[in-house]
Chain A
Amino acid sequence: MHRTWLVTFILKRLLYAVPLVVAVVVVNFILIKAAPGDPVTVLIGDYPATQDYIDQIRAQYGLDQPLHVQLWLYLSEVAKGNLGESLSQHQPVAALLLDRLGQTVKLTLTALAIATVAGVALGTIGARWRGTPVDSTTQGVTLLGYSVPEFWLGQLLIIVFAVNLGWLPLGGAQPVRGSDFTWLDVLPYLVLPALALSFRYTALIGRMTRASLLEVDSADFVTAARSRGLSDWQVLARHTVRNASPPVVTVIGYNLGYILAGSVMIETVFSWPGIGRLLYESITKRDYPVMTGILLMISISVVLANLLTDIVHALIDPRVGRS
């Protein structure tokens, strides 16, 4: 009985997601075409090019077709599973994405893990010692984390830890000199970008955890538990955290999209070879197929992350969605 409810729930949500994803692709396609600039001017660089030559190159790439024809061709190819070919790199978009996907997954999941652990810890500490200097300190840290732009924090981390102290590499995903690297050689490269990317979410999760814990803390069942003689830590561990977790899980899951967006800046600052940087480069080169391919992929992962969040939410909170 439990299982059929879950399957229906998932199918329904996936069905709702289809028009959303299509809309994201269509809107992005039209927006980027409406923006000035053109991939052919990037291909030409600073060299003289007559209008005939430009028209010829444009026709080669199918850019001379009317917008709705281009959009229709693109959508019908996407429906067949073909994301097209990069205009600047002359490679299948799917190959480019797969090539970079692993690095972005590694970076964002590490950042998300750091943010979850650190955020929940900070929030719990703040709630446990509410109103004390400890609380004010964690509140201050989270406020700072929420206000500092990631790319600026990234630059700061590079200057301090890579340039001045020389403890960590200043960018890239692995050493350039030598070959045959173990995970120990590669790990230092992940530290600074993951920290920079996680800071904002640590703050967000920390604040949400604290607020949720405090809200639950004033509930009757907590007072009842205390009156049975349980210690503060016992109440926290057995009753409060469990009841305070659904909104925190929601914040963690729903923010995956923002983390992916944040990785565009972080990957550029740290020379991280992931999807975010590919997106940045494809925008400056007006490489339409790569750009829409990445946006499509990001919107699908956000939809999936939200779905997963809802499932977890439903599983830990028996009141959700069973009717």
Chain B
Amino acid sequence: MPTRRTVLVGTLATLGLTACAGTGGGSGAASSGSTKPKQVIIVTDSDPDSLNPGLTTGYQALDVNVKVYEGLVWLDKEGKPQPQLATKWVASPDNLTYTFTLREGVKWHDGSAFTADDVKYSFETLLKDNARAQGVIKQIASVTIPDATTVVFKLKAPYAPFMSQMKAFDTPILCKAVYDGKGDVKANPANRAPVGTGPFKFKEWKTGQSVTLTKNTAYWAPGQPKVDELVFRIIPEAQNRVNAIVAGEVDILPAVMLPQANIKDIEGKPNINVNKQTAIPALYFMLMNQANPALAKVEVRRALAAAIDRPRIVTQAMGGLALPGFGSWGQGFPWATNKDSSYDKLYKLDPAKAKADVAAAGGVAGGLRITFDAARPQFAATAQIIKDNLAQVGVEVKLEPLERSVFSDKVYAKRDYDLALQSFTSSGDPAIGFHRLYLTNAGRTANVNATGYGSAEVDKLLGEAAANPDQAERGKRYQQAQVILDQAVPTLILFDELQADVNRTTITGLYVGVNPADQFGQVDVK
């Protein structure tokens, strides 16, 4: 069995190679065999779980998959959808029906034609159980295909971030013929040798070492891709990833793979470029469990908010790569941020007053635990600063670093914690990623508000904001909700993360925008 699998994957890889060599007469670089292929090496930290986007949510798989697979659209710098596998789309006036016209002449990497059937099958079968796609999948009532180049989505209710979830990150389109009728999806060989429509096709996966993609010479965008190979090199140890880019062993170090505090080891080094940006807004925050009688009192939560030095966390724990917590939505979406209600006004750093307020509210008997994912150094550093800050107001804090899976279990399933540190990405829209910070969550859904806080008014405002496609109208709802949330502080926003993608200066054509990882067709090597 293992040998058969290996042989199968090997054969697929070889087929991919020969197909590439057979059609790759244009550029002439890779086809001669003796010349070195033009390679770009990207760092990652471990093997992808699977290269089937329906089976994983890990970034390691995502970074590879968005070069192999494509979505119906991609999002530009302003977060606006741009054509990818779909060339046009129309929303009905009631925002319940979206009709997409698909790009013609697109071929899968195995040579077969891409059709509307693939889109329907991806949404209805392959992505159905994926946690990342759940947000939008749950909103879809039906997918119909009137003809081979038209797909119609009917929604259960209007859903504002629908278009932003049609990108390759959330809902990539997979090849129906590869999976349909081929038995157990989990055992399909394409999970380790994916067949997509993107600018790069799968070549080889050396487990524990690297994943290699090769140029798709039949790619629909003329003149793309520009390099022959993309190699994802696996370096598990964070410091070694930094060392590798400094030494020139790799070309690109994505923000996700770079511990922010290490940025100072990289900045100013020769031939290295650091792009700092708030690509996709992401918030780091501290949950306060209201099952703890002290934290159930709003006076105590407010006092803690005034005791925590957010700028110090940004400087010391994040190497300056963050914006100190502004309010309940951070400041990544300016249209959703209420400038008049802010932590700086409500909870100006004042340890003496905070100490008095905690005492007046009855104190915090027995101190508090602060729980976080031990694998993320920025959390460990943040927890230390919070411990130090709260000691000054007479609250003793005990650090509780846990493995990721134990953290989820304790915080979300058991709610056995006092304070907990976590981060959420918005995935491009507050309705996708940020509502879960505050929505009432009686059913203990994982990765949704585990503080025990719930406000019918906030829930209603967020529901309206999710359903209305008009940004100004949505903004009003978010700003109203922010006033309530800033006052109640169920969860304290510590900072907005800035991202720093690092690359060697020999690499050109990197797209700086919302999701730079899925725009690699233009990337070239000097």
Contacts and interface: CB of A to CB of B under 8 A. Distances in A.
Given A57-B129, A163-B243, A284 B208 contact: no
Given A41-B404, A273-B207, A170 B247 contact: yes
A131 interface: no
Interface stretch (B65-73, B76-84, B186-194, B472-480): B186-194
A95 B236 contact: no
B410 A36 contact: yes
Nearest to B246: A163
Contacts of B403: 37, 284
10 contacts: A37-B404, A41-B405, A49-B131, A49-B134, A50-B445, A90-B50, A170-B249, A173-B209, A271-B209, A271-B234
B504 interface: no
A6 B229 CA distance: 56
Contacts of A170: 240, 243-244, 247, 249
B246 A41 contact: no
A51 B55 CA distance: 18
A44 interface: yes
B446 A49 contact: yes
A273 B310 CA distance: 40
Contacts of A43: 49, 56-57, 131
Contacts of B56: 43, 88
B contact residues, range = 35 or more
Contacts of A177: 36, 39, 41, 231
B235 A271 contact: yes
Interface stretch (B1-9, B143-151, B492-500): B1-9
Nearest to A97: B2
B467 interface: no
A273 B47 CA distance: 10
A149 interface: no
A208 interface: no
Contact of A39 (B46, B235, B240, B405): B405
A268 B46 CA distance: 10
B372 to A, nearest CB: 14
Interface string A154-191: 01001100110010011111101110000000000000
A54 interface: yes
B331 interface: no
B425 interface: yes
Contacts of B135: 47-48
Contacts of A291: none
A53 interface: yes
Interface string A252-263: 000000000000
Interface string A70-105: 000000000000000000111110111011100100
Contacts of A44: 57, 131, 408, 446-447
Interface in A269-291: 269-274, 277-278, 280-281, 284-286
A95 B1 contact: yes
A278 B233 CA distance: 16
Interface in B449-496: none
A158 B243 contact: yes
Contacts of B3: 95
A24 to B, nearest CB: 23
A41 B244 CA distance: 31
B176 interface: no
Interface of A: 35-39, 41-51, 53-54, 56-57, 88-92, 94-96, 98-100, 103, 155, 158-159, 162-163, 166, 169-174, 176-178, 268-274, 277-278, 280-281, 284-286
B375 A284 contact: yes
B243 A41 contact: no
Nearest to A41: B408
Contact of B1 (A47, A92, A280): A92
Contacts of A278: 208
B366 interface: no
B424 interface: yes
Given A45-B132, A57-B129, A284 B404 contact: yes
A171 to B, nearest CB: 5
Contacts of A100: 207-208
Given A95-B2, A158-B243, A162-B247, A46 B405 contact: no
Interface string B245-258: 01101100000000
B172 to A, nearest CB: 15
Given A89-B49, A90-B50, A170-B244, A48 B447 contact: yes
A285 to B, nearest CB: 8
A36 B443 contact: no
Contacts of B208: 99-100, 103, 173, 271-274, 277-278
The 9 closest A-B pairs by CB, nearest first: A273-B208, A95-B2, A37-B405, A45-B57, A41-B408, A47-B131, A37-B406, A36-B406, A90-B186
Contact of A92 (B5, B36, B447): B5
Given A89-B50, A96-B207, A170-B244, A271 B236 contact: yes
B409 A41 contact: yes
Contacts of B94: none
Nearest to B133: A47
A205 B254 CA distance: 44
A53 B447 CA distance: 13
B57 A47 contact: yes
Contacts of A285: 49, 405
Nearest to B6: A95
Contact of A271 (B39, B57, B237, B375): B237
A231 to B, nearest CB: 51
A229 to B, nearest CB: 58
A90 B206 contact: no
A41 B134 CA distance: 15
B120 interface: no
Contacts of A171: 235, 237, 240, 244
Nearest to B62: A45
A173 B243 CA distance: 16
A129 to B, nearest CB: 40
Given A41-B404, A163-B243, A271-B234, 9 more contacts: A42-B404, A42-B405, A47-B131, A48-B131, A90-B186, A92-B5, A172-B209, A177-B231, A277-B208
A170 to B, nearest CB: 5
A49 B447 contact: yes
A160 to B, nearest CB: 12
Contact of B47 (A89, A155, A274): A89
Contact of B443 (A46, A50, A173, A176): A50
A163 to B, nearest CB: 5
Nearest to A172: B209
A174 B57 contact: no
Contacts of B444: 51
B261 interface: no
Contacts of B375: 284
B207 A99 contact: yes
Interface string B84-103: 00000000000000000000
B101 to A, nearest CB: 30
Interface string B411-448: 01000000000111100000000001000000111111
Interface string B24-47: 000000000000100101000011
B90 to A, nearest CB: 29
